[in-house]
Structure 1
Amino acid sequence: MKTFYDVLQLLERYGTYIHVGKRLWDIELAAVEVDRLHESKLIDDRTYASAKIILRHEHEQEEKHPLINDDGGKSNG
């Protein structure tokens, strides 16, 4: 597992599909769902740790450089 997409694929294997509308929110919800899967013993410690590292990195990157503007993409420049 190397990317946010890989984490989403992991969640989908357990019936969890995430699309809230803002990438930052998707990342945060994915982190909650990964926690839930780990607490339920559905994923092992290594998978959990990998997913959390990826999500933390993606969250930091999204805060620094959002892919979508907060104005819904309506900026003029």
Structure 2
Amino acid sequence: MDKMLDIYELLKTYGTYIYTRDPIGDLMLMEDEIRELYKANVLDIKDYQMALLLIRQETTRLQMKENQ
């Protein structure tokens, strides 16, 4: 897992589609879903950590873009 598209695809495999027209809100929902998948022992620790890292990096990038 090395890009946001991988996270979207991962969530789709479990029937989760997130699109609210609010990119930062979408990322928050994605983070919640990733946490739930990890709690359910569906994701291993490596994928869980990488997904959270990518989501947080994307959130930071979008927030910086908003503030310009």
Runs of 4+, deviation exceeding 4 Å: none
Greater radius of gyration (CA): 1
State the identity as a percent.
27
Aligned equivalent of 2:40: 40
Residue 8 (1) aligns with residue 1 (2): no
Q: CA deviation at 1:5?
A: 1.4
Does the residue aligned with 1:19 lie in a helix, a strand or coil? coil
- Two-structure CA RMSD over aligned residues (Å): 0.8
Q: What TM-score, normalized to structure 2?
A: 0.91
Q: What TM-score, normalized to structure 1?
A: 0.81
Higher relative contact order (CA 8 A, sep 6+): 2
Work out the CA distance in 2 between the residues paired with 1:58 and 1:6: 13
Task: Report how many aligned residue pairs link the two structures.
Answer: 66
